[in-house]
Structure 1
């Protein structure tokens, strides 16, 4: 089963959801804010996506972080920050089993089949 990770208020996540629906693909939605982010789930994602690719440095949450925290960033710190602040994860994430796609632009899911 395909899983779309995101946040319900995110416009790009809504577009991704509509693209999957338009193709008639079965999927479930996991809202990182409402449904939470466990260490196990984050580790599952990090097995498929490099930590710095997953970290959203353009988010409001990132901009609000202390500059000292940002300056001392490494893979371990980034993982810890994402667990504390799930909105630091780039979204949407599309988990199709063997890999996870990060972000969405029109046409990104056209190659998926149900």
Structure 2
């Protein structure tokens, strides 16, 4: 299992703590350091939808002008933006056996999906 995110994100911290408490082994992929590919983002968008993968609640997105935000109106443009602004990816994303299964952190969803 791979958990994608950035280590200083509170939501990522909650997810990692939950995984550790439940003794679930995982590898952590810090996309600030390791980056992310368009193929990976496209795969996540196929599962969750590009509008979910793009975190519009975060500071990175809010720094954009309304005009800049309005221009990101489809998956291809969202992915191009996210490759260069990994902090705007909704996180964490959890993959199991190469398939995305969870995005963000919700204890009920994690319990139902992973336990």
**TM-score greater than 0.5 by the shorter chain:** yes
Which aligned runs of 4 or more in structure 1 are off by greater than 4 angstroms?
none
Secondary structure at 1:109 match in 2: helix
User: Conserved in 1, the CA contact under 8 Å of 2:2 and 2:29?
Assistant: yes
- Taking structure 2 as the reference length, the TM-score comes to 0.86
**Number of residue pairs matched?**
112
Structure 2 unpaired stretches of 5+:
none
| Structure possessing the higher relative contact order (Cα contacts under 8 Å, 6 or more residues apart) | 1
* TM-score for the superposition, normalised by structure 1: 0.86
Higher helix share: 2
| Rounded Cα–Cα distance in structure 2 between residues aligned with 1:99 and 1:61 | 23
Q: Within 5 Å, which residues of 2 pair with 1:65-84?
A: 65-75=64-74, 76-84=76-84
Aligned-residue CA RMSD (Å)? 1.6
- Structure 1 unaligned residues grouped into runs of 5+: none
